[in-house]
Amino acid sequence: MTYVTELVRQVLESLLRNKLRSFLTMAGIAWGITSIVLIVAMGDGFKEGQRNNTKSLGENLVILFGGRTELQAGGERAGRRIRLNYSDVENIRREAYDVKLVAGELEGNVRATSPFNSGSFDVSGVEAHFTQIRNIPIDEGRFFTEEEERAGRRVCIIGTDVRKQLFGTRPEVNGTTVAINTIPYRIIGVMANKDQNSNYSGLDEKKIWLPYTTMVRDVPPPQRYYVPGYLDEILYQPRTLDRYEETQLQVKKIIGRAHGFSPLDKSALGIWDTVEDQKQVDGIFDSMTVFLAFIGFVTLSLGGIGVMNIMLVTVSERTREIGLRKALGATRLRILIDFLVEGCVLSFTSGIVGWAIAFGLSSALKLVKMPDMFPGLPVSMVTTVAAFGTLTVIAIVSALYPAWRAASLTPVEALRYER
């Protein structure tokens, strides 16, 4: 305990002996740590924001669209138009063991009329389990059930923009009847407000959702597209992300067999793979974070040079003291440890101050409403450990040479030293 107390006293005396020099050195270290922590946190924040943006559609979602073949297969010519069918959904559900959930979607446009107003809106016909794949938050009421979907009930869910258009600010909407293409439908659910920055067929808040069987009967697709079971999109979730590429190939083989195209034909199906997109975005932000963190590392290294400089000056100022201590029996190892620890204490004190500044800024941002695309600056334990691990290396390297120089002095030359 006496040794620790003495060491703390020596460090404080050294810092207070040259206040400005010590402050500037500590400021360099503190700013380096603050830079590294905030830069990495910024990258993590943008990645989290991108994940939130993707989740506004659905998590781990793959969306398939009909395309046009560019390879000949099975005796069929290239250039054929591929139109997705509900039988493809049934085949995937039955055969694709790597698919967790799959659903079809039929799109259209309708004229909806309430007792107060009317408008033209996009409409989607989907199955009851669609909300397990796509993020459709319900504020009032509920989504339709499997029984209602199988029976083709005339029920609907409306988006918040549809509600505003048809009902204005009137509070009682759920249970109201609206006319969709002059056919009466009962509203059983109203969507919650939703921040959505990406979509494939329009914003959800501007849509009306119908049971798939009901829409096939009441709002069939245009005649030029119509075949029994026609779909605009097929959506699925892989059972595990470790095999999402194998799952995609499995699905393409199933659809390709039914429509006579090769699973290697990249144009036969349009694919929006949010899993792959997320990996690419993460890679971009990781590369940017590494580059900016390297700049922070350079700043921290310059602070380490400042520590080395101040420690060399300290050794010079305390040369006669070192000689006296050695004459009284202090070993080289004791002198080496004393100055090494002094340099490390200087560095880590500065580092803690820098980390506290970064953490304070991160905590302050949590009190402010941030957009989903950038939810804040999350300072994780991994970031903290990495920052202080880097600081440890720089602190030891910076303090080691001055400490070794102090320990190498002989008592005679140290006592004869004059400034």
Which residue, 404, 396, 394, is CA-closest to 303? 394
How far from chain centre, in Å, is Cα 291? 18
Which residue, 309, 287, 289, 292, is CA-closest to 29? 309
Q: Tell me what the pLDDT averaged over the chain comes to.
A: 81
Name the burial class of residue 300, with classes exposed (0-12), middle (13-18) and buried (19+) by CB atoms within 10 angstroms of its CB: buried
- For residues 24 and 303, give the distance between their C-alpha atoms in angstroms, rounded to a whole number: 9
The beta strands (E) that lie in 313-402 are given as: none
- For residues 143 and 128, give the distance between their C-alpha atoms in angstroms, rounded to a whole number: 7
DSSP tag of 416: T
H helix or E strand, kind and range, residue 101: strand 99-113
The structure tokens listed for 386 are 């990495």
pLDDT at position 404, please?
73
SS3 label, residue 175? coil
pLDDT at position 381, please?
79
The CA radius of gyration of the chain, in Å to the nearest whole number, is 34
- For residues 37 and 171, give the distance between their C-alpha atoms in angstroms, rounded to a whole number: 47
- pTM > 0.85: yes or no: no
Question: What's the count of helices (H) and strands (E) in the chain, helices before strands?
Answer: 12, 10
Residue pair 34/355 in contact (Cβ under 8 Å)? The answer is yes
pLDDT at position 28, please?
76
The structure tokens listed for 377 are 């600056």
pLDDT at position 43, please?
77
Would you say how long the chain is, in residues? 419
- For residues 88 and 229, give the distance between their C-alpha atoms in angstroms, rounded to a whole number: 9
Residue pair 188/153 in contact (Cβ under 8 Å)? The answer is no
Phi, psi of 153 (to 5 degrees): -65, 145
pLDDT at position 179, please?
95
Regions of the chain where pLDDT drops below 50:
none
DSSP β-bridge partners for residue 266: none
Residue pair 389/330 in contact (Cβ under 8 Å)? The answer is no
The structure tokens listed for 178 are 């609206």
Name the burial class of residue 293, with classes exposed (0-12), middle (13-18) and buried (19+) by CB atoms within 10 angstroms of its CB: buried
187 Cβ partners below 8 Å, 6+ apart?
141, 155, 156, 157, 158, 173, 174, 175, 176, 177, 178
pLDDT tens-digit readout, 276-312: 777 777 777 777 777 777 777 777 777 777 777 777 7
- For residues 349 and 342, give the distance between their C-alpha atoms in angstroms, rounded to a whole number: 11
